[in-house]
Structure 1
Amino acid sequence: MAWADLPPDLLGAVIARLPHPGDRARICAACRGWRSAARRRVRHQPPWLVHPDCTFCTTGRDGACFFPRIPGLPDNATCLGAAGAGWLALDCTDDVFRRTPIWDNFSYETRTFVVYARPDVKHRHTYLLHNPFSNVTVPLPELDAIIGHVAETFEVRKVLMRSNPEDLIAVATSNRHYNVILCRPGKGAHVLPLLRVIDVAFLGDDMLYGITSGDELVAFHLGKGVDGRPQVTRFRLVIVNPMAGYYNKHSWSWPADDTTASDYCYEYDGLEKDGNDDESNDEDDEAPYQEKNGNEEEEEADDEAEAANPEDDEEEEEEVDTSFNADDDVSDYEVREGDWELPYEAKDETFTARYLVPSLSGELLLVRHQYELTLDSGSYTNKVEVFKADVMAGRWIPVTAHDDGLGKDEALFLSRSFSKSTRAHGDVEPGLVHYVSGHMDDVLDTRSWSIRKMTFRWPRQRDLADDKWQTWLFPPELVL
């Protein structure tokens, strides 16, 4: 049998094992028969699922896991998540805890994880944007200078491009000093601390929105400073939730009206800090901003008390470097529900993950995925809720079965580090909400407003990675 006469099913199986668009383009150029087979399968490729160790799984009917890692990446790179369509955010570091897959730290004898992140151990980090399809790398020295020397417990929750790597980039972290960072490569950075933001999303050219673990929505008005440096001219809380659970544990409140960024931010232009200074971003150093609240004397007294009690200082450092949530092993992004006064008592656990994502119609959506982690039967979804932001009225509007659900031919792909609304095509059905939390194989079908099984199965290797760090990556469309 000639190569050009291979059966379409066999050609389809071969194409499924060649996920890179360049390889598929070469298949299309081989002959008319191969081009015809590829045209039916590869023009609109479903998203990949990339693991923190930079290996990946393809999705769809022919989904498979690929080892080793994505070619062209630095050896010491960890994938923080997708920063945009076709782009990955990378963290290059010798931080073994961050780069080691979670199950490598599990002891089957003791049934516990033997390696945990430590707030007293810090590492040097270098951040990059990388496009694995064009093999283009863009360094982010502005992030290196601000969060380039951090503890193992420090987390970059999201790195999000507004349009391209040369434009504005938003970074959300777990640290109170650098909660939201805006940077533009070669232009400088702008830092907003103490906002409790766990997820961010651009909407239009001049707005950035952030969501808190209490379902509160923050609106950032974007601008430009001298020489194109990014700025937040003002920000305000547009949706308030006075019943947010963290108010019971944290004495934290918002100003009643708009807040000007000059009272609350720190601007970095690349000249104020030496990026080679190991102590330039030490968590124990003075915070890179000044809060104008007239409490300098109280802060000095606290510093003296901490110096006299080093044990208390160590406890305080751990609280600072971990996420804002009171539970060390659960971030604000994925809140554990219920009463936990008896941690030694074995019981089922309920988690709620939150995702902020713009729809194709330009509306801002909040998706809450609540799932149960049981002792015997694994995980299952309790419910999935979708809300639209009504900024003018200051409230979330539930999207229910009586509404139209998602837009026509629209599907959502949600993960902690990257979420996207996309047109449905091929193996991607319209009206479905996909999520990676909880290692579950179900989706929300907004056409019937029910939880049902996915149309395709995840590859088995997908369950070996920590789903908290898995991210969707959308390959470019192949022009045939």
Structure 2
Amino acid sequence: AWADLPPDILGAVIARLPHPGDRARICAACRAWRSAACPHVRHQPPWLVLPDCSFCTTGRDGAFFPRIPGLPDNATCLAAAGAGWLALDCTDDVFRRTPTMDNFCYEAGMFVVNARPDIKHRHTYMLHNPFSNITVPLPELDDIIGHVAETFEVRKVLMRSSTNPADLVAVTTSSSDCNIILCRPGKGAHVLPHFRVIDVAFLGDILYGITSGEELVASHLGEDDDDGRPQVTRFRLDIRNPMADYYKKHSWIWPADDTISISDYYDKDGNEEPIDDEDEAPNQDEDGDEEENQEEEDDDLAAANLEEEEVDSSFNGHVSGSVSDNDVKEYDEEVPYEPKDEVFTTRFIVQSQNGDELLLVRHQMQSPPYSDPYTRKVEIFKADFMAGKWVTVNGLAKGEALFLTRSLSKSARAHGDIEDGFVYSAAGEMDDVFDTRSWRIRHMRFRWPWQRKKVSEKLLTWLFPPEVVV
């Protein structure tokens, strides 16, 4: 009888049914199946989603699936935007969603498809929940970055509320012109100034961002009283430049006053440049007036010519410069006269499991030239807002684990295959974890499906399925 199916075979069947709803239906079939299937339903680890919308389930029964059902054929997965939500980009730009293995030509020793800064594509952005099959278009984002170069990157898409998709969405990009975009579906969008933020996290009604120098910038959020468009009422530098040596090479100075009103960055018309207090330039003479009049005539002529052709007013992602990624590559100099190991230090900010603390995680991956990479060190700090500095923590809270990728870093409840105090990273080809209880690197009890290596770890994202009550 089906009720007598051995638990190991039933477990293999459940492993091929990743959707929580399908697993819940197995629990409802009979008492024996419910007893065997409940642990798989209640304690489902997150998925690893690839840019081409294929995905890997993780844990002891992890498996690879070629496609998330119901997505458009031209969809590229940018990030997991929240619990159960994906940020999608519908575009004919295939660079991001082309697996590395398929893109590299071993005979020629080169990549077949390379991102080019001189070629642009159209993009249509949306939020999609594959578990409820709800899709939320983001036309406000299309208006800003709907026609960008192939080298332009959307690095993170973060919803303030996973239960309310109409709420605020924060987007970080590779461009210094639109480092952070605040978008509220159906209401409007707002582009923040050039703070060179590499990662963001919500904590209440404040959006926090860290720079590559580990400065912590707080953006106090509000909305327009008339149309509900998102706004930033003021900025504050809560943690100031703890890496002075870094900034000797990468100069960028925050204003002397660490609390900045939004009016310091925007004029009354909403332009991003500060208002000039002087009405006229100094030493203005008649010749200058003539030159100005000539410039106005040239501008009028150019405007008339533009009326005769279709003009693309959306943002070009690489005109003024780019924002550094959240990792820094160095070389291990401990052993001279030998090939050097590469050491990658990546920084993330994560909201704690209890929701009232902000954590900074430094993850170091060491990549030897002739062997697989491994976790070298992990450091965890919490923001001390009163002291204005990062404070070392002795470990994670009880029952807490961390999952790290560039597009989503999340604190999760430890259960099942997710172990208490562990830090899981999808970086490189590592199959190890960091245990904050002993501050040691450990081998995983299971391995990630090998298909995750098809793309760069920077393009992977964690997707947490909803918990099902059975």
Q: Same fold (TM over 0.5)?
A: yes
Q: Give CA-to-partner distance per residue, 1:248-292, whole Å, 9 cap, x none.
A: 455532112211223325999xxx9xxxxxxxxxxxxxxx62234
Query: Which residue of 2 is the match for residue 365 of structure 1?
Result: 359
Query: Aligned partners of 1:418, 1:91: CA distance in 2, in Å?
Result: 16
Query: Aligned partners of 1:143, 1:356: CA distance in 2, in Å?
Result: 24
Matched, 1:335 2:334: no
Query: Which residue of 2 is the match for residue 376 of structure 1?
Result: 370
Query: Aligned partners of 1:191, 1:181: CA distance in 2, in Å?
Result: 5
Q: Pick from 140, 145, 148: which aligns with 2:146?
A: 148
Q: How far apart are residue 26 of structure 1 and its match?
A: 1.9
> 1:321-470 maps to which residues of 2 (within 5 A)?
323-325=322-324, 332-338=325-331, 347-361=340-354, 362-399=356-393, 403=394, 405-470=395-460
Query: Which residue of 2 is the match for residue 29 of structure 1?
Result: 28
Corresponding letter in the other structure for 2:468: L
Q: Which has the larger radius of gyration?
A: 2
Of 112-121 and 231-240, deviating more is: 112-121
Contact 1:412 1:422 in 2 (8 A): yes
Matched, 1:81 2:79: yes
Aligned residues: 428
Corresponding letter in the other structure for 1:479: V
Contact 1:190 1:265 in 2 (8 A): no
SS in 2 for 1:438: coil
> 1:238-277 maps to which residues of 2 (within 5 A)?
238-241=238-241, 243=243, 247-257=247-257, 258-264=259-265
Query: Aligned partners of 1:411, 1:111: CA distance in 2, in Å?
Result: 40
Q: How far apart are residue 160 of structure 1 and its match?
A: 0.4
SS in 2 for 1:46: coil
Corresponding letter in the other structure for 1:44: H
> 1:197-276 maps to which residues of 2 (within 5 A)?
197-204=197-204, 206-226=205-225, 227-241=227-241, 243=243, 247-257=247-257, 258-264=259-265
Corresponding letter in the other structure for 1:392: M
Query: Which residue of 2 is the match for residue 196 of structure 1?
Result: 196
Query: Which residue of 2 is the match for residue 171 of structure 1?
Result: 171
Query: Aligned partners of 1:350, 1:110: CA distance in 2, in Å?
Result: 28
Query: Which residue of 2 is the match for residue 477 of structure 1?
Result: 467
Query: Aligned partners of 2:105, 2:40: CA distance in 1, in Å?
Result: 42
Judging changes above 3 Å, is the alpha-carbon distance between structure 1 residues 168 and 473 closer, same or farther for their aligned structure 2 residues?
same
Q: Give CA-to-partner distance per residue, 1:87-128, whole Å, 9 cap, x none.
A: 000011111212312232212234333432111111111100
Judging changes above 3 Å, is the alpha-carbon distance between structure 1 residues 248 and 292 closer, same or farther for their aligned structure 2 residues?
farther
Corresponding letter in the other structure for 2:243: M
Query: Which residue of 1 is the match for residue 302 of structure 2?
Result: none
Corresponding letter in the other structure for 2:179: N
SS in 1 for 2:72: coil
Q: How far apart are residue 293 of structure 1 and its match?
A: 6.1
Corresponding letter in the other structure for 1:262: S
Q: How far apart are residue 237 of structure 1 and its match?
A: 1.5
Query: Aligned partners of 1:246, 1:110: CA distance in 2, in Å?
Result: 39
Contact 1:355 1:368 in 2 (8 A): yes
Q: TM-score, normalised by structure 2?
A: 0.85
Corresponding letter in the other structure for 2:399: D
Q: Give CA-to-partner distance per residue, 1:116-159, whole Å, 9 cap, x none.
A: 21111111111000000011100001100011111111111110
Contact 2:59 2:446 in 1 (8 A): yes
Corresponding letter in the other structure for 1:442: D
Q: Pick from 156, 159, 173: which aligns with 1:161?
A: 159
Contact 2:78 2:87 in 1 (8 A): yes
Q: Give CA-to-partner distance per residue, 1:151-175, whole Å, 9 cap, x none.
A: 1111111100011211111111111
Judging changes above 3 Å, is the alpha-carbon distance between structure 1 residues 445 and 198 closer, same or farther for their aligned structure 2 residues?
same
Q: TM-score, normalised by structure 1?
A: 0.84
Query: Aligned partners of 1:207, 1:125: CA distance in 2, in Å?
Result: 29
Query: Which residue of 2 is the match for residue 116 of structure 1?
Result: 114
Judging changes above 3 Å, is the alpha-carbon distance between structure 1 residues 336 and 322 closer, same or farther for their aligned structure 2 residues?
farther
Judging changes above 3 Å, is the alpha-carbon distance between structure 1 residues 9 and 265 closer, same or farther for their aligned structure 2 residues?
farther
Query: Aligned partners of 2:142, 2:372: CA distance in 1, in Å?
Result: 39
Unaligned runs of 5+ in 1: 273-287, 298-303, 305-316, 326-331, 340-344
SS in 2 for 1:71: coil
Query: Aligned partners of 2:39, 2:194: CA distance in 1, in Å?
Result: 50
Contact 1:82 1:418 in 2 (8 A): yes
Query: Aligned partners of 2:88, 2:256: CA distance in 1, in Å?
Result: 38
Q: How far apart are residue 38 of structure 1 and its match?
A: 1.3
Query: Aligned partners of 2:276, 2:73: CA distance in 1, in Å?
Result: 46
Contact 2:214 2:242 in 1 (8 A): no
Q: Pick from 127, 130, 133: which aligns with 1:132?
A: 130
Q: How far apart are residue 318 of structure 1 and its match?
A: 9.1
Corresponding letter in the other structure for 2:158: L
Contact 2:138 2:185 in 1 (8 A): yes
CA RMSD of aligned residues (A): 2.6
